[in-house]
Amino acid sequence: MEAGELCQQAKLYKLDKGTRMSEVRVLVGTKKGGFVLTSDGKREKWAIDGPHFAGMPIYHMKASPVDPNRIYASQTSDWFGQVLQRSDDGGKTWAPVGNKFVYEGTPGTHEWYDGTPHPWEFKRVWHLEPSLTDADTVYAGVEDAAIFKSVDGGQNWQELPGLREHSTGSRWQPGAGGLGLHTILLDPTNPKRIYIAISAAGAFRTDDGGDTWRPINKGLRSQYIPDPAAEVGHCVHRIALHPSRPDVLFMQKHWDVMRSDNAGDEWREVSGNLPTDFGFPIDVHAHEPETIYVVPIKSDSEHYPIGGQLRVYRSRTGGNEWEPLTNGLPQSDCYVNVLRDAMAVDSLDSCGIYFGTTGGQVYASPDAGDHWAAIVRDLPAVYSVEVQTLS
Amino acid sequence: MIRVILPYHLRNMAHVDGEVELSVEQPVTQRTVLDALEARYPMLRGTIRDYVTQKRRPFLRFFACELDLSHESPDDPLPDAVANGEEPYLVVGAIAGG
């Protein structure tokens, strides 16, 4: 066989391995249940399974990277409170696990919207973050803001109280959706380091596995608080990192897209030429650590795309220079929102980007954002989207 | 046997159809009925009463014998008709949200 043929064979093998042999599983939490969408590596035809937990709000679903068939789901409602669901077979069947979330000690108060003291009360789990190394270990970010940890597959939950008991805790105020801890990022190179973000307290980091935490908000400026550069009080909407470079963080704040190159010690704005720098989700390309995605929307109060045109914006330069991605997305009369946990990427050779809308559509791009299509169109309002790349 | 009727979503969680029948030791009160219910169906813990305060969740109501018992003491005896199984004890989701 000639060298060129070998090369071609290798290319075909890679294509085969990267597309046909893989499966993608998309976990979609909605206002009225959870859905599991699956496709092969081509990502053209999708099977829709659900609704699971029909009628119940599912804030977040996420699978263990250690055991991809282990999936955790946060079911929460005003009627029946918090329920944690777990699947051990890739989302085919589910069973409730532990739902006892009790703050350590006497929780005290945080600030209410008007600045008055308000008792700390557990309301719901916003975000679940399974451990990178142990399928039975999972973290939960909750409202009112705190982080809990389970080491037995979600049966029992223990607060890591050092965060809530931070000296600034009594000054934290809720965002419009509540005082929710919505982002948990585990550093793949340092098991002691975790980043979290709270609306509207800001971002925090632990370097000792969760015992102690410190605010990492230097460089953020927020005009809606008395001191725009305060240590806490910033409405951080989402933080993302690339696992190969966990000290580089990208943030979508209430307003402003921000970047840190030193694990959050300092931030600088990279909103650049975005038409608006308000938005909720932000994510990073699976293979290009400088390629990031946001969905700008009009706000403070409208929370829908400018001019009814749904556009993802991509920066290939780690911020500042942004390009609109529109191919396959509605460019008129579209007034949906994309919530903070509703964007994710797969890790196939041609990186897939996914996001869900409050209008019930889940869009996917199998080519890093160049072309989009709705893989399902009429779900309940989408709260969260997570993606698994299965080989 | 004490008869309990759960709302749709809790029946789904507990994997039961129709009424639940429970053996409850005296005295038959809202607390002892709910304790027995949660002992039989542990997945319902925290869904009817708050884990910490043991108070009724605000969007749930408790009815029996055409009475609203939601605001009665959980330790008051339930009506005889509930205690002897003639009438069910109902956990009802409040109508809210349109």
Binned average pLDDT, 10 residues per bin, chain A of 391 residues? 44 43 94 98 96 96 98 96 98 96 95 95 97 98 98 98 97 94 98 97 98 98 93 97 98 97 98 97 98 94 94 98 98 98 98 98 98 98 98 83
pLDDT for position A232: 96
pLDDT for position B98: 52
| Alpha carbon of A179: minimum distance to chain B alpha carbons (Å) | 19
Residue type at A328 in one-letter notation: G
pLDDT for position B95: 80
List all residues 6 or more positions away from A116 whose beta carbon is below 8 Å from its beta carbon: none
pLDDT for position A13: 39
Long-range CB contacts (< 8 A, 24+ apart) of A206-215? A206/A160, A206/A162, A206/A163, A210/A147, A210/A149, A210/A160, A210/A162, A210/A163, A211/A160, A211/A162, A212/A162, A213/A162, A213/A163, A213/A166, A214/A166, A215/A166, A215/A168
pLDDT for position A4: 46
CB contact under 8 Å between A100 and B47, yes or no, is no
Q: Which domains does chain B have, with CATH numbers?
A: 2-93 (3.10.20.30)
Percent with pLDDT over 70 in chain B: 97
Of B10, B52, B60, the CB nearest to A102: B52
* CA pair distance B7, B93, nearest whole angstrom: 6
Segments making up each domain of chain A, as ranges: 17-390
pLDDT for position A1: 42
pLDDT for position A301: 86
Of B46, B50, B60, the CB nearest to A79: B60
Selected from 3.30.70.20, 3.40.50.460, 2.130.10.10, 2.40.110.10, the CATH number assigned to the domain covering A17-390 reads 2.130.10.10
Predicted structure pTM score: 0.93
| Residues shown for chain B | 98
List all residues 6 or more positions away from B88 whose beta carbon is below 8 Å from its beta carbon: B3, B4, B5, B19, B64, B82
Q: Which residues in chain A have Cβ-Cβ distances shorter than 8 Å to B16?
A: none
User: Where in A297-361 does DSSP place strands (E)?
Assistant: 312-315, 323-325, 343-345, 353-356
Q: Which residues in chain A have Cβ-Cβ distances shorter than 8 Å to B50?
A: 81
CB contact under 8 Å between A100 and B51, yes or no, is yes
Test mutation, A80, A104, A144, chain B, max B CBs within 10 A: A80
Q: What average pLDDT does the segment B31-35 reach? A: 98
Cβ–Cβ < 8 Å for B73, B87: no
Q: What average pLDDT does the segment B8-14 reach? A: 94
Instruction: Please name the residue of chain A whose CA is at the shortest distance from the CA of residue B50.
Output: A81
Q: Which residues in chain B have Cβ-Cβ distances shorter than 8 Å to A55?
A: 8-9
Q: Which residues in chain B have Cβ-Cβ distances shorter than 8 Å to A122?
A: 52
pLDDT for position A8: 46
Termini Cα distance of chain A: 29
* CA pair distance B45, A94, nearest whole angstrom: 17
